[in-house]
Chain A
Amino acid sequence: MSLARPNRSALPGQLTPPVVTGNVLDVESLTVDYLTQRGRVRAVEDVSFSVDRGEFLGIVGESGCGKSTLLFAIAQLLTPPAEITGGRVLFKGTNLVGLTDSALATTRWRDMSVVMQSAMNALNPVKTIGSQFKDAMRAHGVRSPAEIADRSAEVLRMVGIDPLHLRSYPHQLSGGMRQRSMIAMAMLFTPELVIMDEPTSALDVVAQRSLMVQIKELQRQLGFAIIFVTHDMSLVSHFSDRLMVMYAGQVAELGPTRRVFDSPLHPYSAGLLEAFPSIRGPRVPLTGIPGSPPDLAQEAEGCRFAPRCPQVLDRCRTTTVPLYQVGGIQVRCLRREDGGDSRD
């Protein structure tokens, strides 16, 4: 698992030499701002990570930590007032930031697809499932009706849905079926990267697990990489290779899932884990994380988590915290300073 870490961020107008890393996705120092009437709100700050071919990266965090914004920024799907104001998104070496919709059209869906949270909202309510599949295929040059019909049926079968539902409208399917048909749609061109924004949050627990198993199975068969965003840490940690914990728009911790899960280095990650009860093991009192996430419109000094941190030091409130490298894990906590050399 390579973690390529170039140490320059591209400035506007400056051509950077292509970075060939072999990764499917390299996100470098990505920053996203919301330009509102009240001023600039920084939703994502200086986020960097890479995704290798066939890798499953989970991104977890509270509501409002910027994970969905991050996803949309990667897929170049932000709408005003949100804007990427810094960094690069290298998809197989090409920077996607700044490209127009028409320039992105060939890459979209063919190489990188998106699965959204609520299929009821993400599917056009007045078109059948089949015609929405057809739209995608025709937009990428597949014209023959036979080919379209075959492929549509094929992807539906892959997720366990009877192809006769191609004629159904979204509201006629159950929640789980809708979600799976969205995933089927994402598989149309067997892309190399699939970005998923909380696809299981709208489902009940049983459907959640069955969907996750299905996703993992598809990944095994077709070999695509997945970025999976969720607030449910316990769910994703069963399936992901690496785990990234976000807080207040920044990366708090990033590393192999097993290690982050078993021994979290950041107090926030530890807090998240303690908030989920375990079915096995002794009964322990549940501890939450007191307080609430900071207002991103205010420029903060020091560590963003300091007001809620149970292990806070005095200098945490005043020092800007860089990402530290501790073994194979990146963590943004002053307590790990001695664990490795600073990144910034």
Chain B
Amino acid sequence: MRFILRRAGFFALTLWTCLTLNFLLPRLMPGNPALAMMAKFHGRLNPQALHALEIAYGVNTHQSLLTEYFQYLGNLAHGKLGTSLAFFPQPVSTVVLHAIPWTLGLLGVTTILAFALGTMIGILGAWRRGGWLDSVLPPVFVITSAIPYFWIGMVLIIVFSLKLGWLPYTFSYDPTLIPSFNWVFISNVLQHAVLPAVAILVTFIGGWILTMRNTMITTLSEDYIRMARAKGLPGNRIMLDYAARNAILPNLSGFAMSLGFVVSGAVLVEYVFDYQGVGYLLVQALDGEDYPLMQALFLVITLAVLFAILLADIATVLLDPRTRAAG
């Protein structure tokens, strides 16, 4: 229990840091980009939006930093993330909410697949030491895990879209279709998602397989595995119930943290495929110098990763009885 509390505390602390960073960054940067940006958009903003921007970036206000800070936090709590500059006059929250389901779908499915497949392959590879799974694949995965995500995306495009013409390579769905819950639309969405998903999966799974395999090998040398053999337990039970259950524990939090890495890669994959997710939006925001949007996206992404880490911590507590006892 104390473990969960401590982790929740860390969660809150990191979140607060992220928020504060978001708040301070525009005010700290040299040359005051806030002013420059405001000058740039002066003609296009209505007075309220302009005023909101001023408040958000601490320009022309006569309030103390601390008051601004609490106002900022208050705004956040109400979901007021400001107005987007690149997609003016849409509020940032609308723009972001639009993109989240796409990224969630893409990353959600890929990470779950990577986790499930990777774990199984890693376990089997370690269990059958010396088999082909164990000798051939590790070096291959070492290499694949070092390849930039976006480049694999480009290669996939070349092979499967441009040369073979099997799958589309831009956008998240055919723009001529109207989004709705019918099979035509959904299958179209899936078609567009295959290549980006494969690009992420191929690179991400390699590292995970290797980690799982290595921990599994270390676990297999433990005394309780020998004991399980001595008891005459069937091989599958030893592999899963005794070895895998113990091997996976130290990796759970590592897996969650690697999600931060996956998100990073996903940003570029979405960019390469013009896939309308959070990552693509982030790059667009960068191009359009849309600071409010960028900050909001950064917040959303960090929140997601922190949440995943918290989930992994809860899973650890549920699966490892030792954490429940210790403080």
**Which residues of A approach B to under 8 Å, CB–CB?**
72, 75, 77, 79-80, 101, 104-110, 113-114, 116-118, 121-127, 135-136, 139-140, 169, 171-172
Contacts and interface: CB of A to CB of B under 8 A. Distances in A.
Given A126-B246, A136-B233, A139-B231, A171 B226 contact: no
A116 B226 CA distance: 10
A135 B322 contact: no
Interface string B228-241: 11111111010001
Interface in B247-292: 249
B246 to A, nearest CB: 6
Contacts of A110: 232
B320 A126 contact: yes
B321 interface: yes
Among B233, B234, B246, max chain A CB count under 10 A is at: B233
Interface string B204-237: 0000000000000000011110111111111101
A101 B235 contact: yes
A72 B233 CA distance: 17
A175 B226 CA distance: 20
Contacts of B228: 124, 135
A77 B242 CA distance: 16
A127 B240 CA distance: 13
Contacts of B223: 116-118, 121-122
B12 interface: no
Contact of B226 (A77, A104, A172): A77
Interface of B: 129, 221-224, 226-235, 237, 241-242, 245-246, 249, 319-322, 325
| Chain A interface helix/strand/loop/mixed | loop
Contacts of B221: 79
Contacts of B235: 101
A110 B237 CA distance: 18
Given A125-B322, A171-B322, A172-B325, A108 B226 contact: no
Contact of A139 (B222, B227, B233, B249): B233
B232 A139 contact: yes
Among B232, B233, B235, B242, max chain A CB count under 10 A is at: B232
B222 A140 contact: no
Given A116-B223, A124-B224, A105 B232 contact: yes
Contact of B321 (A79, A106, A117, A171): A171
A123 B242 CA distance: 10
Contact of B325 (A77, A109, A171): A171
Contacts of A116: 223, 226-227
12 contacts: A77-B229, A80-B129, A114-B230, A116-B227, A121-B222, A121-B223, A121-B224, A126-B320, A135-B231, A171-B321, A171-B322, A172-B325
A72 B322 CA distance: 29
Contacts of B322: 125-126, 169, 171
A139 B246 contact: no
A124 B226 contact: no
A99 B176 CA distance: 67
A101 B226 CA distance: 12
A257 B223 CA distance: 30
Top 10 A-B pairs, shortest CB-CB distance: A108-B232, A121-B223, A105-B232, A114-B230, A169-B321, A136-B231, A122-B223, A122-B227, A124-B224, A109-B231
Contacts of A124: 224, 228, 241-242, 245-246
A117 B229 CA distance: 16
Contacts of A104: 232
A107 B222 CA distance: 23
Contacts of B229: 77, 101, 108
Contacts of A121: 222-224
A117 B226 CA distance: 12
A29 B321 CA distance: 45
A123 B319 CA distance: 16
B4 to A, nearest CB: 18
Contacts of A136: 231-233
Given A108-B230, A125-B246, A171-B322, 11 more contacts: A77-B230, A107-B232, A109-B230, A110-B232, A124-B224, A124-B242, A124-B246, A126-B245, A135-B231, A139-B232, A169-B325
